Chain A
Amino acid sequence: MRCITTPENMLSPEGAFGGNPLFYWIYGLAAHLVPCWLAYVIAGLVIMLILINAVLLGAAIVSWGERRLLGRFQNRVGPNRWGPFGALQPIADLTKLITKEDIIPYGADRLAFTAVPVIMVSSLLVATAVIPFAKDVALVDLNVGVLFILAVSSLTSIAIFTAGWASNNRYALFGAGRAVAVLISYEVPVVLSLLGVVVVAGSMSLGDIVVAQAVPFFLVQPLAFFVFLAGMSAELNRTPFDVAEAESEIIAGYHTEYSGIKFALIQAAEFGGALFVSGLIATLFLAGWAGPVADWLGWLWFLIKTFIGIFLFVWIRSTFPRLRLDQIMAVCWKFLMPLSIINLAAVVLEVYFLRDASGTLSTSDLWIMAGINMVVAVVSIAFFGRIIRQKIRNSSRTMTASAPMVRGVPTIEVG
C-alpha cells in the first residue's frame, strides 16, 4: 500500500517536525505495526508528550532548584529530606497536593474557577512549542514564532483576571486587578524590545534568530535585554514586580482560594513560566543552542543558558524588596518604555546604515552595533534612571505640619 501521509509527503523539511530525527525514528518504528497514517499520528503525539512532560518536569526541577537556591541565599538549607539533595521534593509536594481536598469556595463561579489552571498550563505548554531546544529540535519552527509567543503568553493575564473574579474573594480581586494592570502595561515595552531583536535577525522565526546571533544579542542590544528581563519579571509576577501575589499584602493574590490539584497546576504554570521565559531569554539574547564547540551538544548549551536565566531570577527574588503598584507603573511607562523606544530607534538606524546590498549584517557589523549600543545603553539608563528616581521619590508625600488628631483624644499644644 502506498503511503500518502509520510512526513516527506505531508510536510516540507522546514515544517512541523521537519528534520527532527526522533520523529522519523518513532514514525519508522510505528509504521511496521500500524497503518502509516496512524503511525504519523502516534509519532506526533509521542513528540508532544515528550515536550509536555519535559516542560512539566522542568517546572518541578525549577521549583526544587529555586527553593534550594533560595535556601542558600537565605543562609538556610532548603528542602533536603526526600531523595538526594531533596531532589524528589516536588514529587512529595505533588502527592500532598493531589490528595488534598479540592475546595471550590461558596459563591465562586465554578466553571471559570476550574478553567483557570487549565488555561494557565495549556498556554504555557502551547507557547513552548516554538522554542528550539537544539539545532532543528523544536515542535514547530513557525515563521511568526515571536508573534505566536506573545499572543499565547498573554492568555495568562486573562486567566489571572478570571481567577480573581471567579474566586469570590476580595484579596483575589485585588491581586487580579493589580496583575492585569501590570501585565498589560509591561507587554508594551517587552514587545518593543523584541521588535529590536526581530529587526536585527530579519526574521520572526526563533530558529532564524538563533542562527543570526553570530554575536549574542545581549551584547548587540543590551537595552533590549535589560527591558526584556525587567518586563518578563513583571509578567512572571516575580520580585521586585510581584504585586499580583504579594504574600505580605494580599495573601496569595489571585490564587488565594485555590487548593489541591488546581493549586499544583497554577504553581506548575508559574515555575514552568520561569523555565519558559529563561528559555526564551536564552534563545533570543544568549544565542540559544549555539555554543563554543560542537553543534550536536546544542541541548547542553541551551540548558546551561536557561539555568543562567533561572539563577538570575532567583537571585533577584532573594535580594530585592517589592515596589508599590504605582511605582511599578511609573517604572514601566517612564523608564522601560523610553528605553525600549531608544533601543528600537538605534537598532533600526544602525541596521539601515550597516546592512549590505542583500540586506544582511556581517559579524563585524554586529560588533560595531554592540559597541554603539553599549554606550547608548549606559547613557540612557543613567539618564532615565535619574529621572525615574526623582519622580518616584517626589510621588511620596511630605510631612504635613499638623495633622488631625485621633478622634476623642484631648490634644495638647507642643511648642
Chain B
Amino acid sequence: MTIRTEPMTVNVGPQHPSTHGVFRVRITFDGEDIVEVEPVLGYLHRGSEKLAEERNYVQVVTLTDRLDYTSSMINNQAYCLAVEQLLGIEPPPRGKYLRTLTAELQRIASHLIAVGFFVQELGAFGTPLMYTFRSRERILDLFEMLCGARITVSYMRPGGVFSDTPPDFWPALDQFLEDFEGELEEIENLLLNNEILMVRTRGVSPLPADVAINCSVSGPVLRASGVNWDWRKMAPYDAYDQVDFDVPIGSNGDNYDRFWVRMQEVRQSLRIVRQCIAQIEPGPVRLELPLVLRAEPGAEAYGRVEASKGELGFFLVSDGGVSPYRCKIRSPSLINLTITEHLLLGWKLADMIVSLGSVDINMGEVDR
C-alpha cells in the first residue's frame, strides 16, 4: 500500500522571524521538500526612484541611505559617483580616501550582519549574532563621530564628503582596529570550522557559475560561485586603485562558500582601511560647488560600486533642471533574488531559510 500525500502551500512571510524584513515567498512543500517557489515582492515599496525626481541632486543623498540601510555609506558613494560623472567633476584626494575608508568600514558592518543572521538562521541562538553586533556597534559609533548619524548617515556629497573628520576620530578608529582583530578571531574560531555549520551548509543549494552569470547576480554570491568579479578591481573608483587587496573566490557556490567569502572579505576590508589610514593626507574634503547643482540637458551617467551585496548602480538622466529627470537604481538585492527558485527547489524547509540568509538580501533595497 502506498500512502498518498498532498503538497502543502505555506506563505513564508511577510511576517516571519527570518525573512530579512518583509520578504514573502509562497512555497509548496511535499512533506519537508520544496516543490514550488514563488517570491512576492513589494511590501516595502516607497517609490525612491520617483522621489529622487522631486529633489535636487544633493537632497537625493538622504534617499539613498534608506535603500540598503545596513550599508548606507556605500549607497551614498554610488549615488555621488553617478552625480560626479554627470557633472564631470572629481573629489579631492582626501575626500576620496575618506569615502573609501568609510565604505569599507560599512562593508565590514554589513557583512557582520549577514554572517550573524546567517548563523542565527542555522539555529545558533543569538550568540554569534551578538558577537558580530558587538563589533558592528563600534563601527556605528565611529560613524556617529563622523556625521552624527549611525544608520542613515548621508555622509557623502557629490564632490566629496560633507565634513572632515573630528580630531578624536582617528584614535578611536585605531582603537577599534586593534580590538576588532581579536573579536574577528573569536568569531572565526567559533564559526569557520564549526562541525554542525559545515554539515548544514556544505554542498547545500549550490549555484553554478553559469547560472550565476546568466542571472546576473553580483557580489559575494557571484564570487562564491567561483567568478572573479569585483568592481573595485574591474573599474576602480575613489581610492581603490591606490590600495592593495585580494578578492576571495569560492569554489562550489554553496551556502558555506557564500558565508566563507563574506568572512574573508571582512579581512580584506580591514586591510583596505589600514592602507587608507596610512595613505590619507590633510587637505580639502569637498569641492567648492554651487548650492544647487545643474547638469547639461540630456546628460547621462551610470555610477556603480561594489556594494556589500553586489553591484549597486545609479543611472541618472538630466534635463538641465535642479533634480534628476530619471533616477534608476540597480539594486543588487533584487537581482540576487532572481536565483531564489534555483537555490530552493528540491531542498528542505530548513535549508530554505539558510539559503535565503546566505544570499543576504535587504528588503529596503529590493523594493526601493
Tally chain A residues at the interface, Cβ within 8 Å. 50
Question: In A139-180, which residues have CB < 8 Å from any B CB?
Answer: 170-171, 173-174
Asked if A399 and B203 make an inter-chain contact with CB atoms under 8 angstroms apart, the answer reads yes
Given contacts A324-B200, A406-B338, whether A318 and B209 have CB atoms under 8 Å apart is: no
Given contacts A75-B130, A392-B199, A399-B254, whether A322 and B123 have CB atoms under 8 Å apart is: yes
Of the listed stretches B211-219, B238-246, B280-288, B360-368, chain A binds B211-219
Asked if A74 and B127 make an inter-chain contact with CB atoms under 8 angstroms apart, the answer reads yes
Which residues of B are found within 8 Å of A401, using beta-carbon distances? 208
Asked if B348 and A324 make an inter-chain contact with CB atoms under 8 angstroms apart, the answer reads yes
Asked if B348 and A396 make an inter-chain contact with CB atoms under 8 angstroms apart, the answer reads no
Of the listed stretches A11-19, A183-191, A240-248, A374-382, chain B binds A240-248
Q: When chains A and B are docked, how far (Å) is the Cα of A321 from the Cα of B213?
A: 32
The answer to whether A323 has its CB under 8 Å from any CB of chain B is: yes
The answer to whether A130 has its CB under 8 Å from any CB of chain B is: no
Which residues of B are found within 8 Å of A73, using beta-carbon distances? 127
* In-complex Cβ contact of B17 among A247, A321, A389, A412 (8 A): A247
Kindly name the residue among A75, A239, A324, A327 whose own CB sees the greatest number of chain B CB atoms within 10 A.
Answer: A324
Question: In A368-413, which residues have CB < 8 Å from any B CB?
Answer: 389, 392-393, 396-407, 409, 411-413
Given contacts A399-B252, A403-B211, whether A248 and B127 have CB atoms under 8 Å apart is: no
Q: Kindly report which residue of chain B lies nearest to residue A173, judged by CB atoms.
A: B8
The answer to whether B206 has its CB under 8 Å from any CB of chain A is: yes
Given contacts A70-B126, A399-B253, A399-B254, whether A414 and B18 have CB atoms under 8 Å apart is: no
The answer to whether B193 has its CB under 8 Å from any CB of chain A is: no
The answer to whether A250 has its CB under 8 Å from any CB of chain B is: yes
B193 to chain A, nearest CB (A): 13
Given contacts A75-B134, A396-B203, A405-B214, whether A322 and B122 have CB atoms under 8 Å apart is: yes
Q: When chains A and B are docked, how far (Å) is the Cα of A321 from the Cα of B208?
A: 26
Which residues of A are found within 8 Å of B121, using beta-carbon distances? 248-249
Question: In B190-215, which residues have CB < 8 Å from any A CB?
Answer: 194-200, 202-204, 206, 208-211, 213-215
Asked if A396 and B350 make an inter-chain contact with CB atoms under 8 angstroms apart, the answer reads no
Question: In A220-240, which residues have CB < 8 Å from any B CB?
Answer: 239-240
Asked if A239 and B125 make an inter-chain contact with CB atoms under 8 angstroms apart, the answer reads yes
* In-complex Cβ contact of A396 among B202, B214, B338 (8 A): B202
Q: When chains A and B are docked, how far (Å) is the Cα of A325 from the Cα of B352?
A: 13
Q: When chains A and B are docked, how far (Å) is the Cα of A171 from the Cα of B351?
A: 16
The answer to whether B131 has its CB under 8 Å from any CB of chain A is: yes
Question: In B334-368, which residues have CB < 8 Å from any A CB?
Answer: 338-339, 341-342, 348-353
The answer to whether B46 has its CB under 8 Å from any CB of chain A is: no
Asked if A246 and B254 make an inter-chain contact with CB atoms under 8 angstroms apart, the answer reads no
The answer to whether B16 has its CB under 8 Å from any CB of chain A is: yes
The answer to whether B10 has its CB under 8 Å from any CB of chain A is: yes
Which residues of B are found within 8 Å of A70, using beta-carbon distances? 125-126
Question: In A320-351, which residues have CB < 8 Å from any B CB?
Answer: 320-327
Which residues of A are found within 8 Å of B126, using beta-carbon distances? 70, 74, 318
A219 to chain B, nearest CB (A): 26
A410 to chain B, nearest CB (A): 8
The answer to whether B54 has its CB under 8 Å from any CB of chain A is: no
Which residues of B are found within 8 Å of A414, using beta-carbon distances? 209-210, 213-214
The answer to whether B305 has its CB under 8 Å from any CB of chain A is: no
The answer to whether B119 has its CB under 8 Å from any CB of chain A is: yes
The answer to whether B268 has its CB under 8 Å from any CB of chain A is: no
A164 to chain B, nearest CB (A): 13
Q: When chains A and B are docked, how far (Å) is the Cα of A398 from the Cα of B32?
A: 20
Which residues of A are found within 8 Å of B197, using beta-carbon distances? 321
Q: Kindly report which residue of chain A lies nearest to residue B190, judged by CB atoms.
A: A319
B256 to chain A, nearest CB (A): 10
B253 to chain A, nearest CB (A): 7
Q: When chains A and B are docked, how far (Å) is the Cα of A362 from the Cα of B351?
A: 52
Which residues of A are found within 8 Å of B10, using beta-carbon distances? 170-171
Q: When chains A and B are docked, how far (Å) is the Cα of A3 from the Cα of B352?
A: 69
Asked if A174 and B204 make an inter-chain contact with CB atoms under 8 angstroms apart, the answer reads no
Kindly name the residue among A323, A396, A407, A409 whose own CB sees the greatest number of chain B CB atoms within 10 A.
Answer: A396
Asked if B130 and A412 make an inter-chain contact with CB atoms under 8 angstroms apart, the answer reads no
A266 to chain B, nearest CB (A): 18
The answer to whether A214 has its CB under 8 Å from any CB of chain B is: no
B352 to chain A, nearest CB (A): 8
The answer to whether A76 has its CB under 8 Å from any CB of chain B is: yes
Q: When chains A and B are docked, how far (Å) is the Cα of A247 from the Cα of B194?
A: 21
Which residues of A are found within 8 Å of B89, using beta-carbon distances? none
Asked if A398 and B203 make an inter-chain contact with CB atoms under 8 angstroms apart, the answer reads yes
The answer to whether A303 has its CB under 8 Å from any CB of chain B is: no
A168 to chain B, nearest CB (A): 13
B12 to chain A, nearest CB (A): 9
Which residues of A are found within 8 Å of B350, using beta-carbon distances? 243, 246, 249, 322, 324-325
The answer to whether B124 has its CB under 8 Å from any CB of chain A is: yes
The answer to whether A317 has its CB under 8 Å from any CB of chain B is: yes
The answer to whether A31 has its CB under 8 Å from any CB of chain B is: no
Question: In B1-48, which residues have CB < 8 Å from any A CB?
Answer: 8, 10, 16-18, 32
Question: In A230-278, which residues have CB < 8 Å from any B CB?
Answer: 239-240, 242-243, 246-251
Asked if A75 and B131 make an inter-chain contact with CB atoms under 8 angstroms apart, the answer reads yes
Asked if B199 and A323 make an inter-chain contact with CB atoms under 8 angstroms apart, the answer reads yes
A210 to chain B, nearest CB (A): 33
| Contact pattern, A 293-305, Cβ under 8 Å of B = 1, otherwise 0 | 0000000000000
A-B contact pairs, 29 of them (CB 8 A): A70-B125, A74-B126, A74-B130, A75-B127, A75-B134, A76-B130, A174-B32, A248-B123, A248-B353, A249-B18, A251-B17, A320-B123, A321-B124, A322-B196, A322-B200, A323-B196, A323-B199, A324-B351, A325-B32, A325-B348, A325-B350, A393-B202, A397-B206, A399-B208, A405-B214, A407-B341, A413-B210, A414-B210, A414-B214
Interface residues of B (CB under 8 A from A): 8, 10, 16-18, 32, 119-127, 130-131, 134, 194-200, 202-204, 206, 208-211, 213-215, 252-254, 338-339, 341-342, 348-353
- Which 5 pairs, one residue from A and one from B, show the smallest C-beta to C-beta distance? A322-B123, A396-B203, A321-B122, A399-B206, A74-B130
Beyond A251-B17, A324-B348, list 19 extra A-B contacts (CB 8 Å): A70-B125, A240-B196, A248-B17, A249-B123, A322-B196, A323-B196, A393-B198, A396-B199, A396-B203, A397-B203, A397-B206, A399-B208, A399-B252, A399-B254, A405-B211, A405-B215, A406-B338, A412-B214, A414-B210
